[in-house]
């Protein structure tokens, strides 16, 4: 039994949705509140102690009696039981809300979909129309229309429905546009799919979640609008909605008599429904369109340490940065932590360029961020030290660290698209680095320095007045390098600076970094997954796999005498145009999940030289002399 029926697939999807949704507390509370009210409305005749018919007839008590045993919510200006009216009133509010919202959603959904999908003139026309209707204030228009026609329930439903679609149209249109330009839609077109197919199979499924959240919002707005209209005296006089109840109470002296119950309870009903819907909407939004709930300014976690004794590397007077046995975890609520980096060590001397190589997810970026304590809030340094000029960066205070950040060690981030603030000029952001760390730098010389830095990386002086989006990808990367040099640091960390750039631009950036290093005596840590780049410019190489050091040696050793099977396989997988006969190999399988690591050697599942011990015991870091370290059981035997 291979492929499932469409019906079963729906069921599977619904089940998985419910699984996620049921964990969302806000959404559940909202759903419960709403469900309670709907049940109350449905079973109104059974719940209400006095059946209410039309207004004037049924007087069951004195007017404006406070709440009592026989009248839980008191009585109103006509002597009717407020609780019974309340329970029946729920029906009106819900009916108007849902039906009016239904009309709005249909109109808004269709309009937005058509506008977004067709584009061009149609989109222009429809969106102009939508924007015009959006600007015209809703309630006054509703008031005018209903005042001029008849305040019947049907009328009210139509008027609210016909005016409530504007936000939905906008939202649906932008989502349709977004989906339309995605690659899988292009692929469908390339196969020959027609518009109907693309809309039904690709656009609708991705617009639906947005529409559902929007629908909940529209229902709540419709209910609020109906109650406002009723309160203003435009409600249907033949039915008693909550707004209508408040209209009568307010207009017939409940205030002066002090009959707070006549004013409180109907409004409370409205709040209950709308709040329930709002919470439900929030919950749905969080489940269907999840957004990040962490950001870079959330407090980090303190460094902890457990002392470990491992292989020691060489340590000379020229050492600028020494990382010893660094281990970093990512804390996951209710789950075991992800051991992103475990026991990694390396040394960086002045003027040296070390390459940090590994596949995506091997922990190299985590390692880099940790050096300056820039880890996201879930990250924590759990062991090891980072020595910079004698100070341990993992434990110094934040103020001390802020003095070292950028001034002594700076970073060039990957994919500089958003690494620079888009609403400030590039020159401004470079100048900021200068003024932050060198407050004595003469103010009138700052611009000259900015120009000098840009010149160093080959960018013309007038570009400093431009914004990042006006720079090309390669230029942005070079601007970031200029900014990183602003305070004459000792170390630059370059995190995948050439990924996603064309080969020629890559070559330019590499040449630039290399020449800067030689000219200024910089030490550079170059993070990449590209072995070829590493071979071009690095002095030393640290190969990481699954968060641990696989191999660490001088570049020549890594390429010509690799000892770790991962390094060997990696080199074999790299195309070499100087060896035409070489067959390209790849490493089968994929890297381990850092929160579900195998027992024993992390590379064992993919290693061609694996044997029994590899699967039970993690190899230690073996020192092979001449600063060459490899973590493999095979190495031990031949030491």
Question: Who's near 203: CB < 8 A, 6+ residues apart?
Answer: 113, 117, 176, 179, 180, 185
Position among 46, 56, 309, 584 found at the interface with another protein (CB under 8 A): 584
Tell me the CA end-to-end span of the chain in Å, nearest whole number.
54
Tell me which residues in 361-380 interact with another protein (CB under 8 A): 372, 374
Least spacing, CB of residue 320 vs another protein, in Å: 18
Question: Total binding residues for another protein by CB under 8 A?
Answer: 141
Closer residue to another protein in complex, CB, 234/382: 234
Closer residue to another protein in complex, CB, 403/518: 403
Closer residue to another protein in complex, CB, 383/485: 485
Binding mask 550-569 for another protein (x = CB under 8 A): -----xx--xx--------x
Tell me which residues in 65-94 interact with another protein (CB under 8 A): none
For residue 224, the Cα-to-chain-centroid distance in whole angstroms is 32
Closest CA to 357 of 207, 182, 148, 566: 566
Tell me which residues in 501-520 interact with another protein (CB under 8 A): 502-508, 511
Least spacing, CB of residue 637 vs another protein, in Å: 26
Least spacing, CB of residue 405 vs another protein, in Å: 4
**d(Cα 207, Cα 109) in Å, to the nearest integer?**
9
288 sits near another protein (criterion: CB under 8 A): no
The two counts, helices (H) then strands (E), for the chain are: 24, 12
Helix (H, G, I), strand (E, B) or coil at 220: helix
Least spacing, CB of residue 201 vs another protein, in Å: 7
Buried b (16+ CB within 10 A) or exposed e, 479-492: bbbbbbbbbebbbb
Closer residue to another protein in complex, CB, 423/612: 423
Closer residue to another protein in complex, CB, 52/166: 166
148 sits near another protein (criterion: CB under 8 A): yes
616 sits near another protein (criterion: CB under 8 A): no
Question: Who's near 116: CB < 8 A, 6+ residues apart?
Answer: 123, 172, 173, 174, 175, 176, 177, 180
Closer residue to another protein in complex, CB, 404/548: 404
The interface region with another protein, picked from 65-73, 243-251, 440-448, 620-628 by CB under 8 A, is 243-251
Tell me which residues in 1-30 interact with another protein (CB under 8 A): 2-4, 9, 12
Q: What is the DSSP letter of 382?
A: E
Question: Who's near 237: CB < 8 A, 6+ residues apart?
Answer: 55, 151, 244
Least spacing, CB of residue 47 vs another protein, in Å: 23
Least spacing, CB of residue 147 vs another protein, in Å: 6
597 sits near another protein (criterion: CB under 8 A): no
The interface region with another protein, picked from 58-66, 106-114, 276-284, 595-603 by CB under 8 A, is 276-284
The interface region with another protein, picked from 78-86, 96-104, 262-270, 309-317 by CB under 8 A, is 262-270
180 sits near another protein (criterion: CB under 8 A): no
Closer residue to another protein in complex, CB, 348/371: 371
Residue 554's φ and ψ, nearest 5 degrees, are -65, 155
CB 218 within 8 A of CB 168: yes
Binding mask 450-489 for another protein (x = CB under 8 A): --------x--------x-x--x-xx--------------
**d(Cα 368, Cα 373) in Å, to the nearest integer?**
9
Position among 536, 610, 613, 618 found at the interface with another protein (CB under 8 A): 536
Tell me which residues in 199-218 interact with another protein (CB under 8 A): 201-202, 205-206
**d(Cα 312, Cα 386) in Å, to the nearest integer?**
14
Least spacing, CB of residue 357 vs another protein, in Å: 10
Q: 3-class secondary structure for 441-498?
A: CCHHHHHHHHHHHHHHCCCCHHHHHCCHHHCCHHHHHHHHHHHHHCCCCCEEEEECCC
Question: Who's near 265: CB < 8 A, 6+ residues apart?
Answer: 73, 74, 82, 83, 86
CB 423 within 8 A of CB 467: yes
270 sits near another protein (criterion: CB under 8 A): yes
122 sits near another protein (criterion: CB under 8 A): no
**d(Cα 82, Cα 91) in Å, to the nearest integer?**
15
64 sits near another protein (criterion: CB under 8 A): no
The interface region with another protein, picked from 53-61, 106-114, 383-391, 533-541 by CB under 8 A, is 533-541
């Amino acid at each position: 039994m291979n492929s499932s029926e469409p019906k079963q697939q729906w069921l599977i999807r619904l089940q998985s949705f419910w699984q996620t949704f049921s964990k969302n507390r806000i959404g559940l509370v909202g759903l419960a509140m709403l469900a309670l009210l709907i049940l109350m409305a449905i079973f109104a005749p059974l719940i209400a102690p006095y059946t209410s018919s039309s207004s004037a007839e049924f007087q069951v008590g004195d007017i404006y009696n406070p709440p009592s045993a026989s009248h839980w919510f008191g009585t109103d200006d006509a002597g009717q039981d407020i609780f019974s009216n309340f329970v029946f009133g729920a029906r009106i509010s819900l009916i108007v809300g849902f039906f009016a919202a239904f009309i709005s959603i249909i109109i808004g959904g269709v309009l937005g979909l058509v506008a977004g999908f067709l584009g061009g003139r149609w989109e222009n026309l429809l969106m102009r129309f939508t924007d015009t209707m959006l600007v015209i204030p809703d309630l006054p228009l509703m008031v005018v229309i209903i005042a001029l026609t008849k305040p019947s329930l049907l009328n009210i439903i139509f008027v609210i429905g016909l005016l409530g679609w504007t936000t939905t149209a906008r939202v649906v249109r932008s989502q349709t546009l977004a989906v339309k330009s995605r690659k899988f839609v292009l692929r469908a077109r390339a196969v020959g799919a027609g518009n109907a197919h693309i809309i039904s199979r690709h656009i609708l499924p991705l617009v639906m979640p947005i529409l559902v959240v929007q629908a909940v919002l529209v229902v709540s707005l419709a209910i609020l609008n109906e109650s406002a209209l009723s309160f203003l005296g435009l409600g249907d006089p033949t039915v008693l909605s909550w707004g209508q109840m408040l209209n009568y109470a307010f207009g017939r002296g409940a205030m002066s008599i002090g009959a707070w119950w006549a004013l409180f309870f109907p409004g409370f009903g409205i709040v209950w429904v709308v709040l329930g819907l709002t919470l439900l909407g929030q919950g749905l939004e969080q489940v269907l369109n999840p957004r990040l709930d962490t950001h870079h300014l959330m407090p980090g976690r303190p460094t902890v340490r457990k002392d470990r004794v491992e292989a020691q590397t060489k340590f000379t007077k020229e050492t600028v940065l020494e990382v010893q046995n660094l281990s970093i975890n990512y804390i996951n609520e209710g789950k075991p932590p992800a051991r992103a980096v475990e026991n990694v060590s390396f040394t960086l001397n002045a003027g040296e360029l070390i390459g940090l190589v590994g596949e995506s997810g091997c922990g190299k970026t985590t390692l880099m961020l940790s050096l300056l304590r820039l880890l996201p809030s879930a990250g924590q340094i759990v062991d090891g030290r980072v020595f910079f000029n004698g100070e341990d960066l993992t434990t110094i205070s934040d103020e001390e660290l802020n003095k070292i950040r950028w001034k002594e060690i700076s970073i060039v981030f990957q994919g500089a698209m958003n690494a620079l603030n888009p609403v400030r000029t590039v020159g401004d952001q470079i100048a900021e680095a200068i003024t932050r760390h060198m407050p004595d730098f003469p103010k009138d010389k700052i611009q000259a320095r900015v120009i000098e830095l840009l010149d160093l990386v080959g960018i013309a002086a007038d570009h400093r007045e431009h914004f990042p989006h006006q720079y090309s990808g390669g230029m942005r990367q070079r601007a970031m390098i200029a900014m990183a040099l602003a305070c004459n640091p000792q170390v630059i960390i370059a995190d995948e600076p050439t990924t996603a750039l064309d080969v020629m631009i890559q070559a330019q950036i590499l040449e630039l970094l290399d020449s800067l290093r030689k000219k200024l005596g910089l030490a550079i840590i170059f993070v990449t997954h590209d072995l070829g780049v590493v071979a071009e410019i690095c002095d030393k190489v640290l190969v990481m796999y699954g968060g641990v050091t696989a191999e660490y040696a001088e570049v020549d050793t890594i390429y010509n005498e690799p000892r770790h099977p991962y390094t060997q396989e990696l080199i074999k997988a790299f195309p070499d145009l100087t060896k035409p006969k070489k067959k390209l190999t790849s490493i089968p399988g994929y890297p381990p999940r850092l929160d579900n690591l195998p027992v024993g050697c992390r590379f064992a599942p993919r290693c061609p030289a694996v044997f029994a011990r590899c699967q039970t015991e993690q190899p230690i870091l073996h020192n092979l002399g001449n600063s060459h370290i490899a973590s493999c059981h095979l190495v031990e035997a031949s030491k």
